[in-house]
């Protein structure tokens, strides 16, 4: 899964849960950016890059989401 695919899925989850989801590519170094979901935030790598399993898991933990939420 790429960062862009994950962002789309998280936006869907945000709409269902009534959370504001914002992507700010300026808040990060290089290709990284900051994803805000409600009151939580996480730095994500480039949206074009394929996310490694550990990175995906870390993002989900930081946002208090489960893998099942993405399906």
| pLDDT (average), residues 21-48 | 92
C-alpha neighbours within 13 Å on the C-beta side of residue 15: 5
Mean pLDDT of the chain: 93
| pLDDT (average), residues 11-20 | 95
Domains held by the chain: number: 1
Entry pTM: 0.90
3-state secondary structure 1-59: CEHHHHHHHHHHHHHHHCCCEEEECCCCCCCCEEEEECCEEEEECCCCCECCHHHHHHH
Residue 13, CA distances (Å) to 10, 52, 57, 66 in order: 5, 21, 16, 11
pLDDT confidence of residue 3? 94
Read off the CATH number of the domain in which 42 is found: 3.30.920.30
Structural domain containing residue 48 = 3-70
pLDDT confidence of residue 56? 95
pLDDT confidence of residue 71? 84
């Amino acid at each position: 899964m790429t960062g862009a695919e994950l962002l789309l899925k998280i936006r869907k989850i945000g709409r269902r849960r009534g959370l504001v989801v914002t992507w700010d590519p300026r808040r990060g170094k290089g290709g990284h950016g900051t994803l805000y979901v409600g009151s939580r935030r996480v730095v994500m790598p480039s949206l074009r890059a394929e996310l490694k399993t550990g990175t995906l898991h870390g993002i989900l933990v930081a946002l208090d989401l489960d893998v099942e939420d993405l399906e």
